[in-house]
Each structure stands twice: as C-alpha cells, then as structure tokens.
Chains A and B, each alone.
Chain A
Amino acid sequence: MLAETAFVTPATPYHPGEEAAVPARSQIGLHAAKLGLQGGAFAVFALVLLIFALSSPIFLSPFNLGNILAQSAISGVLAIGLTVVIIAGGGNVVTGGIDLSLAANMGLSAAVYASLSQAGQPDAVAAGAALATGLVIGAVNAVAVTRFAIVPLLATLAVMNIVGGLELVLTQNTVIPAVTPLLETLSGAGPLGVPVLAYGLIGFALVTALAVQATPLGLRIQAVGSFPEAARASGLAVNRFVAGSFLFSGLSGGLAGIFSAAYLSGSTTGAGELLLPVVVTALLGPVFSRRLVPSITGTLLSALFVGVLINGFQLLNLSSTLVSGIQGLLILLVVSATTLLKRKEG
C-alpha cells in the first residue's frame, strides 16, 4: 500500500501521548485493537469477496471484476476529490473540509459535455468545457471558503443548489444522449478486456495518491489540514492549500462528469442522489488506511468495497436497497470502534 509514508511524525494528534503516558501493557493492547480494527476492515472486505465468489460463479470472472471497477469509477473519482478536500481542510466534518457540491458538479459537467456534443462540437471542446465547468465550480467554492470565510459545509451547500439548478436549466430535466468517440473509448474494453473506465479510476487514484501521500506538496497539504496553526507558523499559506483542494475537487467533479456521460451514454437527471453515497465512501476510507486517517488509497479501497457490495447484491438478486443500510451500519460500526478506541487512548 502506498499509505501515508510521507507523513510519519513521532507524535500525531491521533494518538497523543502514546509513547509517554500509556503504560506498556495497555499500549500493546491498543496497538492490537488498532491492528484488529484496521485488519478487520480488510478481513470484512476479503470475507465479502469470498462469500460473493462462492455464491455466484461469475463474480470472480475478469469481465465482472472489470465491471465493478467501471461501476465504481464515477463515485470513486468523486470520493477521491472529496478526500483531498477533507485532508486539506481537516477532519471535523462541520467546520473542516467538505464539498457537498461534488455530485451536482458531476451532473452539470456531464450535461455540459452532452449538450456540446449534441450541438456538434468535437470531443476536445466538449471534454475541455466539462473539465472547465468543474474547475469553475471548484473556484467558486474556493473563493467562498477562503475569501468570504464561509464554513465549507454551508458554502458548498449553497453552491450545490446553484449548480443543481443550472443543470436543470441546461437540460430542462431531460436525458441528453451523447455518443462520441471519446465516450465509446471510455466505456469500451481496454487492455486485458478490462473497461477503460476502470483504468481511468485506477490511474486517477494512483496519480492523486502519489501526489498527496508521497511528495512534499502532499506533506504540506496534510500538515495544513491536521495542524493549521503549526503550518501557518512554519510559513505555509494555509488558505492557498485549502483553495487548491477545492479546485482539485472541482476538477474531479468535471472528470466524473465525463466518466458518467461515458457510462450512461449521455447526461441523466438525479446526479444529486450520488452525494451522500460519495460522502459515506470518503468517510469510510480511513478504515482502509494504516493510521485510520483519510487517505487516497483508503478511499479507493472504500469505493471498491461499496462497488463490490452493490455488484454482489445484483448478482445474488438481493435487493440493492439493502446496500444503503449496510453502508450506514458499516459507518456506524467503524466509527464506534474508532471512537471507543480513541477514548481508551485518551
């Protein structure tokens, strides 16, 4: 795992005083509990894979696995964008980093792409415009949060409304079909018969993970989010990093828009419904990271885990409505466990 190797400091706020105050024996216990929790997430993932593999013969087929990756591509890209905002803005979900406009952004970007394609514009123009749309939305969020000092939760909530409305205005709440060479390539099969969308997700996740978890830039982004005062004291322009994180999430909204246009052969309505699943995916990410903190690799795994659940339920003909309940239960279990663990530590 790429993990958070770039950011290993002796004492982090996640386990304060671990070295000093906690007696050796309970420290071992805590380490065991933490390993158990983190290993537990992987064990659950493995167990779920095993159950689906045993109960459905086609689950493990390369075609189906590729399908899972492609299905997860849209929410995965969005959740990774959100994770960057959370890392740079800090983990407090109300005052810290959050971007509620991401799903609406994806919807508008897809609509922009589909509309321009339908108007006869070439792919380069349509795709460029979709990415630009995402970027502009990110810029508005960035200005609202850093210049106007609006709490991210509220700023992005208002922007979500505006963007959702603009999508309705543009599409008149209808489906805009789009068939273009770019979309056909994206939704088609790539090397090894795996959908190109799947490569898109993995590629996007790898590049982002490298940037955030293995470069000095990434180290700074994490410092800004976790220790804003210290970061400011050491001369980092905190606001610039926060603004940058919103620009990045805006761009991932635009990219997810193109992916979604490819996956659905055009733009459809109801993009906003993806918001909460994406938030849950990003918030579930920490269990798949070594120190139980938000990370790109963790979010990718979390997105794949949710994708596997949805896909497996479909194969087993189970009601996909259960997925939402299971996601809810998982997040509560995970968060309860981490909360109780931290309380023991403190």
Chain B
Amino acid sequence: MTALSPSLAPQTRRRLALGSRHALPVALVAVFLLFSALAPGFLSLANLESVLVNNFTLLSIVAIAMTFAIAAGGIDLSIGTAVDFASFSFVTLVLSGQPVPLALAAGLGGGALVGLFNAVLIAGIGISPFLATLGTLFIGRSVQQLLTNGGNPVYLPPAGVPESFRFLGRGTVAGLPVPLLVAGAIILIAGLILSRSRFGRVVSATGTEAEVVRYSGLTLKAHLAGTYVLVALIAAVAGLVLTSTVTVYIPSSGNAFLLNAIGAAFIGTTLHPHGRPNIAGTVLGVLLLSLVANGLLMSGLNFYWQQVGTGLLIFTVLALSFASRKA
C-alpha cells in the first residue's frame, strides 16, 4: 500500500514485503490450470492466440498507460477519453481522404490533447488527479456528443478506406498479428522508461515522496505534466489499434477500459516488493483478467456469470494480497 499512502509507518512498510507477492503468479497458474481442466478448447493454440489478440492487447496498452499515472501517485479516469479522441481524429482524417500516416499522427495528437488538458489541471493548477481527470472525463463525453450529433457512431465504409488503414489492427508481420507486436513494443519501452530511465525514477519518486522530489530540486511539475501527457499518448495508441480493428468510432466507448485498467494496474502492484506500480505486474494483471474472461467464455458459462466470476476473482486476489500485507 506504499503506492497509495506514503504516510505509512516504516514498520508497516517492511511488513509489506512479506507474503503478498505470490498472490498474482499463483492466481495466474491456478486460473490457467483450472480452465485447462474445465473448459474444452481453452488450451488450444488458436484459443490462446485469441486471448492474446482479442483480450490482452488493447487492455494491456491502456493499463500500462494507467500504471504511469498510478506510479506518479495519481490516477487517470479520463484515460478512455484519450482513447476516444485518438480514435475520432484518426477516423475523421481518413474519412476526409488524408493519407493514413498523417491520420495516425493526428490520432496521437488528439489523444495528447487530453493529456495536456490534464497536465494543466494537475501540474499547473494543482488539482488532485482524481478530480481533475473526472472533470476531463465528463467534459470529454459532452465534446464527443457535440462532435457526433448527439453520439452517433462514425463508420468507415469498407470500400472507401485504404488498405493501410487496417494494417495496425488486422495486419501481420512475419506471421504475428500487428496489435500484439504493438503491445509488445509498448510493454518493453514502458518497462524501460518506468524502471530504467531517469524520468521513470522521478515519476516513481513523485508517487512515493513528492516532497522529497521538490526539495531535491527536481522539477516536480514538469515531470507530473509529462506523466499525464505520456499516459494519454500511450492510451491514444490503443485508440488507433482499436479503430483500425473495428473500423468504426463509437463516442465514449474508450471508457470500457477504465475499470479493468485500474484493476490490472493495482493487481500488478502486488507483484512488487513494496507494492509499487510496475509494468511486469500490470502485464500479468491484464493477462489474468484476459485468461479469466476467455476461460469463463470457453467453459460455456452464461455471459452474465462471466462478470460475476471476474469480479470474484479480482476480489480474491486483492483480499489475499492486501490481507497478507496487513498481517
């Protein structure tokens, strides 16, 4: 819980190291074995690939973005808004006949805009991230409805769209699906940034000891601002991949990722010796959520029970890891 409450007493912090770290890997293995035994077809190569491509990729990108916000001691509730703005800019430019690379750049720009707005609120004015990004989420929802005549989806007609548009979502390189490669690249780069770069260390320090960062003469505000722009940029990539896959922009659809991204990032903190947000943990957290979603589907469980099952599982992992930290 150090990630959340920097004011914990030192002895409490030392206790955090004990016992809690194994909950996530154990849960992953258990879930994998359970569904291999229960759900026919779960273990097939085709199904496992579908888990990675359909369940894992997009959520992993968004959850990694969220990990940066949480590492910096905050949260980004408007992460879906960045996904949506990227998607909207991308679709609009492609529809107006602009070349795909330009539309992709505009998509990243559209997402980054959301991040800049958050950066001004959080680093500039000093609003708490929860409230600032909640405001952004609400404003973003209205803006999208105004842009789309009250929330109508924007479809890309299959005929009028260049083939390159679908590359990001449906293409393959050396037999591997492009979305998976994009997610892999982002996982690697994000991992390097968060744990090996100077920027990443300052971000983590901001999350644990903001005062110390300030006293050390580091530019706290610039790093905070940079964090929220980076969060939105990574989320924007998810928006581009999503749009390229489904060839439609649906207003405010990015919010669907929000709660799972928060869940995965926080489940991931249980992997770290001091309960800090970390990329490896987030990736395992997303993998756990993806396996559960797919496994419940494959075991032929009623669609509605899947949500109950996912919730129960997250609850159990959280209870196990937090309760053992407390003890």
Contact = CB atoms under 8 A, between A and B. Distances in A.
Interface of A: 92-95, 144, 147-151, 153-155, 157-166, 168-169, 172-173, 276, 279-280, 283, 319, 321-329, 331-332, 335-336, 339-340, 343
Contacts of A93: 128, 130-131
Contact of B308 (A148, A154, A169, A335): A169
B41 to A, nearest CB: 23
Interface string B4-28: 1100000000000000000000000
A154 B142 contact: no
B326 A95 contact: no
A164 B310 CA distance: 11
28 contacts: A93-B130, A94-B4, A144-B315, A147-B323, A148-B318, A149-B1, A149-B323, A150-B319, A158-B314, A158-B318, A161-B308, A162-B308, A163-B311, A165-B304, A169-B308, A280-B138, A283-B134, A322-B146, A324-B139, A328-B134, A328-B140, A332-B121, A332-B132, A332-B136, A335-B127, A335-B131, A336-B127, A339-B126
- Chain A CB within 10 Å — which of B137, B315, B323 has the most? B315
A193 to B, nearest CB: 34
Contact of A157 (B140, B259, B307): B259
B322 interface: yes
Given A321-B151, A328-B139, A335-B131, A165 B311 contact: yes
B135 A331 contact: yes
A279 B134 contact: yes
Interface string B292-311: 00000000001111111111
Interface residues on B, range: 35 or more
A154 B310 CA distance: 14
Contact of B307 (A150, A168, A276): A168
Nearest to B77: A276
Contacts of B142: 321-326, 328
B141 A324 contact: yes
B199 to A, nearest CB: 22
B194 interface: no
Given A169-B304, A279-B134, A321-B145, A161 B150 contact: no
